[in-house]
Amino acid sequence: MGFVYGALHRLGVTPWMQTGRTFHIEYDALLAPAERPLGGAYRTPLPGAALDLGCGTGERACELARRGWSVTGVDESQYAIARARSTAAQAGLDIRFLRDDVTHVSTRTLARTFDLVLDAGCFHGLDAQRRRDYVGHVTDVTEPGGTLLLFAFGPGYRGPLPSGASRMHVERLFHGWTLVADLDADSSTLIGPLKHSDPRWFRLVRD
């Protein structure tokens, strides 16, 4: 899959990159204060260490860096990582980009834990076993109280495109996390039938 993904990047056939194109617009709403079940609120996270999983060519990582986050981007495509490094350099931003499998990230390879994890299109395309692997590893590299922003289409069969994930599915798989927000995602940049895929952003906080 990594070879195919890299080849598609080289050909410029990257429909998955549309899922985070409006992140710079949605950022404030995604991290706005959210009510706690027993009163009070989850506050907007202050900029700290951020991890962009499936960073692609680096646009979202750059947006986080501009907002004061110390960013690490991870992608399995060497081509995407090279493009991301170029994107950050041209913007004058200091971002670390690593080639790795998002389902096996670890503090050993990343050399730190994170206050914010962003996934704008990886989890919802994984099979059942890789989703379980993903949750375990992402939990390990996230600080207690840290935030995960997770983009997903609504569940459905789409051939080679991501099968999506429902709120119930996310809540069931993410043990040790609390789902604090479930928001409509901007679908204006999605192509064809993906506009009707019920795209959502889930915000989770690690217990």
Answer whether 42's CB lies under 8 Å from 180's CB: yes
> d(Cα 61, Cα 94) in Å, to the nearest integer?
10
Q: Confidence band (pLDDT; 50, 70, 90) for 37?
A: confident
Pick from 21-25, 95-99, 118-122, 174-178: least confident: 21-25
Whether the pLDDT of residue 167 is over 70: the answer is yes
**Number of structural domains found in the chain:** 1
Mean pLDDT, range 95-124, rounded to an integer: 95
- Is the model's pLDDT at 125 over the cut of 90? no
Residue 189 has pLDDT above 80, yes or no: no
Tokens of 8: 């598609």
With tokens 């051939």, the residue in question is: 159
Q: Say what the pLDDT of residue 8 is.
A: 53
Contact 204, 179 (CB under 8 A): yes
Distance, C-alpha 192 to centroid of its chain: 22
Rounded Cα gap, residues 84 and 80, in angstroms: 6
pLDDT > 70? residue 36: yes
- What is the pLDDT, as a whole number, of residue 20? 56
CATH of the domain at 181: 3.40.50.150
Query: Could you tell me which of 135, 124, 151, 149 has the C-alpha nearest to residue 204?
Result: 149
Q: How high is the mean pLDDT of the chain?
A: 88
What amino acid occupies position 193?
A: P
Residue 78: alpha-carbon gap to chain centroid: 18
Domain span at 107: 2-206
Phi-psi region of 192 (alpha: psi -120 to 50; beta: other; left: phi over 0): left
- What average pLDDT does range 54-70 have in this prediction? 95
> How many residues are recorded in the chain?
207
pLDDT at 148: 98
- What pTM value is reported for the model? 0.89
Contact between 133 and 103 under an 8 Å Cβ cutoff? The reply is: yes
pLDDT of residue 195: 63
pLDDT score at 23:
87
160: confidence class by pLDDT, cuts 50, 70, 90? low
Q: Position 53: which residue type?
A: L
